């Protein structure tokens, strides 16, 4: 009795796909409605309609899907919230999801073991700290290499710069506790992070869209990692408190086992969570930009007001430069994450104006401090720290200034939004390049001091 | 005939419960039964039935179970529960009060000339 008309089947398939996209309608609801639709079609064809007509009438009777899905949402509002299914039901592909969990846990454990072995192997804590990125981040890259099925060629292309960084960090004759050592170690993390972007993009690192995805991933990862760390902190506090009541000293175990394993492990697990949730849960970073953009503008205006009334900066040292770099990085993050979530076709709005105000205010604050700083440097000369901070400041300045220029054009309706977005992603390699300069070229230039 | 949306919504619960009180059924059969009962004059938006059935299930008025249709597809069957029967009886009383009141109003509406005469 069933119609096996392939055309009708194709139409029903299309309809099913269309309904499945509704978040409030679950798979079993779709099944239920599809059964309804098929019954209706069968009944209508018995009355003399052909398949095509019967299908159209049945779909029409099913009602406006927007309204139906709204009704489902009203009944199952939880579905709009709890969409994060970490281990999907084995409807397609069976055991695959459990395998991913296994891979993630193995890599998390591996990252922890690498740190633990590093701690045991190198007696000097500084050696571990300088290599921490080299110890942990390969496991993150490994996760993406597995997830994106990276080719061997891309893998080899990743290993080469990785090896270079490892050699530079460990073979250069750094003075212990010197600033070039600290700079090289901290900037190597940025360079490594850029390398991971290649694995994340599955080798397609030139694609603007993939780069923006990586920016989104980075923001979400940071937030998830912080959340996991907070939760972990609570657990550790409770354990410490309880065990100290019964007279057990928990601290040695905490320091030598739990922290070396859990902190790197949390990074891998956070990456997996972000991957699992990406399409399903709203990104948090862009939401935070909405809150903090106006607040940061207020902060910057206060800075400017204070500079103006106190008549300049009294004590200009490298700390101020680093502070200003951090302000610019903050502004850049606010800019980047709101751009990452903006519909590029939407017309200019109030928030775009606010963003321009933010960037201009940041540039003004930076100009004031930078001019003070430059006279200072002219007087006392460069140190590695000052040069690194100044270089980063310039890299950030170019990024923000050109963004501001592009947004002026966008707000005046002279340019579409797309160039602003593209500028962000195109400029990102500049940071990796600068980081590499600090790691590789700074130490010899500043005599490894 | 077009029936007002609110009226359809208000009558949907007692209709579904009443149909299920006759024996367990499934979505499409319920819609078909409503059509028969109203002589084809009540046209539901079919998709809306399912959120309603789920709501009744959550409230404990009906119980759902998965079975198989004669064509071999999975099909969700609904059966009324004791709580559902109590609700149905309750709704029946409410509706008869409304229907009685309405009946009297309709009778009054049919005699407007006498009222007009009184004013003249």
Average pLDDT over residues A84-104: 63
Identify whether A348 is part of a domain.
yes
CA atoms within 13 A on the CB side of A104: 20
Which of B5, B34, B43, B50 is the best substitution to test chain A (most A C-beta atoms within 10 A)?
B50
Q: State yes or no: pLDDT of A81 exceeds 70.
A: no
Which pTM value belongs to this model? Answer: 0.68
CB-CB neighbors (< 8 A) of A31 in chain B? 74
Tell me if residue A280 falls in helix, strand or coil: coil
Q: State yes or no: pLDDT of A388 exceeds 50.
A: yes
Identify whether B64 is part of a domain.
yes
Same domain, residue pair A64 and A143: no
Cβ–Cβ < 8 Å for A167, A135: no
Identify whether A449 is part of a domain.
no
Interface of A with B in 21-40 (CB under 8 A): 28-29, 31-36, 38-40
Same domain, residue pair A264 and A134: yes
CB-CB neighbors (< 8 A) of A62 in chain B? 45-47
Instruction: Tell me which residue range forms the domain holding A262.
Output: 96-277
Identify whether B83 is part of a domain.
yes
Same domain, residue pair A210 and A161: yes
Cβ–Cβ < 8 Å for A373, A446: no
Interface confidence: ipTM more than 0.85: no
Q: Per the CB < 8 Å rule, is B58 touching A75?
A: yes
- If one counts the domains in chain B, the total is 1
CB-CB neighbors (< 8 A) of A33 in chain B? 27, 47, 50
Phi, psi of A194 (to 5 degrees): -65, -35
Q: State yes or no: pLDDT of A233 exceeds 90.
A: yes
Identify whether A91 is part of a domain.
no
What pLDDT does residue A194 have? Answer: 94
Q: Is B111 on the interface with A (CB under 8 A)?
A: no
For residues A380 and A394, give the distance between their C-alpha atoms in angstroms, rounded to a whole number: 20
Which of A47, A75, A76, A91 is the best substitution to test chain B (most B C-beta atoms within 10 A)?
A75
- If one counts the domains in chain A, the total is 3
Identify whether A1 is part of a domain.
no
Identify whether B84 is part of a domain.
yes
Looking at residue B20, which CATH number applies to its domain? 1.10.10.10
Same domain, residue pair A238 and A356: no
From A54's Cα to the closest Cα of chain B, the distance in A is: 15
What pLDDT does residue A80 have? Answer: 59
Same domain, residue pair A225 and A297: no
Parallel, antiparallel, or unpaired for β B74-80 and B62-68? antiparallel
Q: pLDDT tens digits, residue range A330-385?
A: 999 999 988 888 877 778 888 899 999 999 999 998 888 788 778 777 777 778 88
Identify whether A29 is part of a domain.
yes
Of A377 and A252, more confident: A252
What pLDDT does residue A298 have? Answer: 95
Q: In what order do the strands lie in the sheet with B25-26?
A: B25-26, B74-80, B62-68
The token duo for B94 is: 């409410």
Q: Is B2 on the interface with A (CB under 8 A)?
A: no
Same domain, residue pair A370 and A297: yes
Identify whether A130 is part of a domain.
yes
Identify whether B66 is part of a domain.
yes
Same domain, residue pair A119 and A251: yes
Q: pLDDT tens digits, residue range A151-207?
A: 888 889 899 999 999 999 989 888 888 888 999 999 999 999 999 999 998 888 888
Q: Which of A131-135, A370-374, A410-414 has the lowest mean pLDDT?
A: A370-374
Q: Where are the alpha helices (DSSP H) in A21-131?
A: 27-46, 51-62, 65-75, 96-121, 125-130
Q: Per the CB < 8 Å rule, is A1 touching B28?
A: no
What's the burial of A133, exposed, middle or buried (CB within 10 Å: 0-12/13-18/19+)? buried
What pLDDT does residue A407 have? Answer: 92
Cβ–Cβ < 8 Å for A28, A36: no
Identify whether B93 is part of a domain.
no
Identify whether A428 is part of a domain.
no
| Length, in residues, of chain B | 120
CA atoms within 13 A on the CB side of A365: 27
What pLDDT does residue A398 have? Answer: 94
Average pLDDT over residues A281-306: 87
Same domain, residue pair A115 and A198: yes
Q: Where are the alpha helices (DSSP H) in chain B?
A: 5-21, 27-37, 49-58, 82-109, 112-119
Same domain, residue pair A358 and A315: yes
Q: pLDDT tens digits, residue range A22-70?
A: 877 888 888 889 999 999 999 999 998 888 899 999 998 888 888 888 8
């Amino acid at each position: 009795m069933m119609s096996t008309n392939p055309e009708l089947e194709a139409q029903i398939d299309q309809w099913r796909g269309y309904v499945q996209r509704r978040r409030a309608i679950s798979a079993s609801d779709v099944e239920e409605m599809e059964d309804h639709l098929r019954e209706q079609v069968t009944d209508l064809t018995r009355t003399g309609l052909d398949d095509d007509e019967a299908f159209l009438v049945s779909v029409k009777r099913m009602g406006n899907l927007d309204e139906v899905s709204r009704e489902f949402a009203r009944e199952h509002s939880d579905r709009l919230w709890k969409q994060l299914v970490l281990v999907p039901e084995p409807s397609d592909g069976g055991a695959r999801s459990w395998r991913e969990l296994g891979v993630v846990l193995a890599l998390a454990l591996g990252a922890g073991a690498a740190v633990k072995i590093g701690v045991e192997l190198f007696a000097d804590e500084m050696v571990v700290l300088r290599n921490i990125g080299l110890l942990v981040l390969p496991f993150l890259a490994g996760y993406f290499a597995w997830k994106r099925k990276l080719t061997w060629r891309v893998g080899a292309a990743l290993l080469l710069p990785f090896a270079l960084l490892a050699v530079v960090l460990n073979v250069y004759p750094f003075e212990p506790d010197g600033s070039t050592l600290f700079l090289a170690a901290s900037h190597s993390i940025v360079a490594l992070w850029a390398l991971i972007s290649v694995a994340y993009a599955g080798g397609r690192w030139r694609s603007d869209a993939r780069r923006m995805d990586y920016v989104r991933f980075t923001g979400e990862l940071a937030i998830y990692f912080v959340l996991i760390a907070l939760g972990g902190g609570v657990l550790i506090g409770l354990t410490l408190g309880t065990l100290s009541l019964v007279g057990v000293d928990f601290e040695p175990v905490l320091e030598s086992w739990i922290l070396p394993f859990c902190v790197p492990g949390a990074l891998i697990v956070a990456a997996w969570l972000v991957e699992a949730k990406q399409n399903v849960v709203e990104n948090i970073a862009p939401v935070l930009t909405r809150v903090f953009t106006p607040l940061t503008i207020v902060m910057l205006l206060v800075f400017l007001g204070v500079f103006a009334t106190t008549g300049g900066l009294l004590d200009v040292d490298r700390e101020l430069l680093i502070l200003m770099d951090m302000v610019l990085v903050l502004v850049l993050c606010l800019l980047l994450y709101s751009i990452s979530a903006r519909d590029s076709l939407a017309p200019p709005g109030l928030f775009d104006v606010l963003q321009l105000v933010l960037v201009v205010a940041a540039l003004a604050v930076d100009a004031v401090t930078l001019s003070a700083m430059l006279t200072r440097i002219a007087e006392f000369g460069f140190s590695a720290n000052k040069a690194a901070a100044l270089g980063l400041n310039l890299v950030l300045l170019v990024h923000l200034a050109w963004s501001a220029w592009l947004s002026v054009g966008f707000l005046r309706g002279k340019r579409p939004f797309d160039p602003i977005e593209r500028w962000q992603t195109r400029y990102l390699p500049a940071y990796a390049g600068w980081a590499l300069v600090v790691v590789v070229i700074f130490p010899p230039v500043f005599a490894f001091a | 005939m077009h029936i007002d949306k609110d009226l359809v919504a208000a009558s949907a619960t007692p209709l579904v419960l009443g149909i299920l009180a006759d024996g367990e059924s499934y979505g499409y059969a319920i819609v078909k039964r409503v059509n028969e009962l109203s002589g084809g004059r009540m046209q539901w938006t079919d998709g809306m039935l399912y959120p309603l059935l789920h709501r009744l299930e959550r409230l404990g008025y009906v119980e759902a179970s998965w079975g198989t249709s004669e064509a071999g597809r999975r099909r969700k069957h609904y059966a009324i529960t004791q709580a559902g029967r109590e609700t149905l009886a309750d709704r029946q009383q409410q509706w008869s009060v409304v229907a009685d009141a309405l009946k009297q109003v309709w009778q009054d509406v049919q005699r407007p000339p006498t009222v007009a005469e009184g004013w003249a």
